[in-house]
Structure 1
Amino acid sequence: MLGDIALLFVCLLGGESVHRLAGVPLPGSIIGMVLLFGWLALVRRSRPGLSSATTWLTGHLSVMFVPSAVGLVNEGPILSRYGLALAVATAVSTVLTSVVTVLVFRWTLARVSERGERHA
């Protein structure tokens, strides 16, 4: 499990390095996720350790939000200026994401049901 956690941190470090050194306009964590995806696509082997590591990290996810909350507290002036717009944008994007997810799920379910009827 330690090696799998190290893989996650190496991908994160690589993403942060690319972000800072190359000036790519994406957060380092997103670049790191792309690097992890690329690694998993290139190295095709079972990763039960990675699964257990991510399950453990997900189980302790609430602890990982503490630095984000502290960071928000430090951005008080910006939040007082743009907070309402950020809240509205977050609410609208959440609703739109939910609607699109439901529509895609219903479309997929209809296609799977249709395929099952043709093969029956």
Structure 2
Amino acid sequence: MVPALAIILAFQLAGEVISRAGHLPLPGPVLGMLGMVAALSASERLRAMIRPVAQGLLSHLSLLFVPAGVGVVAHLPVLAAQGPALAVALVASTLLAIVVGAVTFTLVAKLMGSLPDE
């Protein structure tokens, strides 16, 4: 278990080093995950070693939301003060994303000939 966890963390560290050294716009853990996916695709032995640890981590994934919840509770006064602005921003950005998605879909469908022209 410890070697498999060390391998997972080594991939995350490698991704972080590559991201920072290369001044890349991708987060280090994402690069590490991509590297690990490539390594797992290439090695059945590595896949068999990491599988139990990964399944254990995934089964307790909900525990990772506890720090985020504590952070929200710790900043309740700020959230209360900025709540209406946050609510407006969330609703407006959601509506804008839906409209942009629908318009983009319609334009691409017309370009591909999937929708009849009006």
One fold, TM greater than 0.5? yes
Alignment counterpart, residue 84 of structure 1, candidates 62, 80, 90: 90
| Alignment TM-score, normalising by the size of structure 2 | 0.57
**Which residue does 1:113 correspond to in 2?**
none
**Which residue does 1:17 correspond to in 2?**
17
**Higher normalized contact order (CA 8 Å, seq sep 6+, divided by chain length):** 1
Is the alpha carbon distance of 1:62 and 1:87 closer, same or farther for their aligned partners in structure 2, counting shifts above 3 Å? Answer: farther
Match for 1:59: what amino acid? S
Match for 1:63: what amino acid? L
47-56 or 5-14, larger mean C-alpha shift: 47-56
Larger Rg: 2
Contact 2:40 2:46 in 1 (8 A): no
CA shift, 1:81, in A, is 8.4
CA shift, 1:3, in A, is 1.0
CA shift, 1:31, in A, is 0.4
| Alignment TM-score, normalising by the size of structure 1 | 0.56
Is the alpha carbon distance of 1:86 and 1:43 closer, same or farther for their aligned partners in structure 2, counting shifts above 3 Å? Answer: farther
**Which residue does 1:64 correspond to in 2?**
64
RMSD across aligned C-alpha pairs, in angstroms? 3.5
Show structure 2 runs of 5+ residues with no match: 103-118
Cα displacement string for residues 6-48 of structure 1 (whole angstroms, at most 9, x for unaligned residues):
1110011111111222111111111011110222234343633
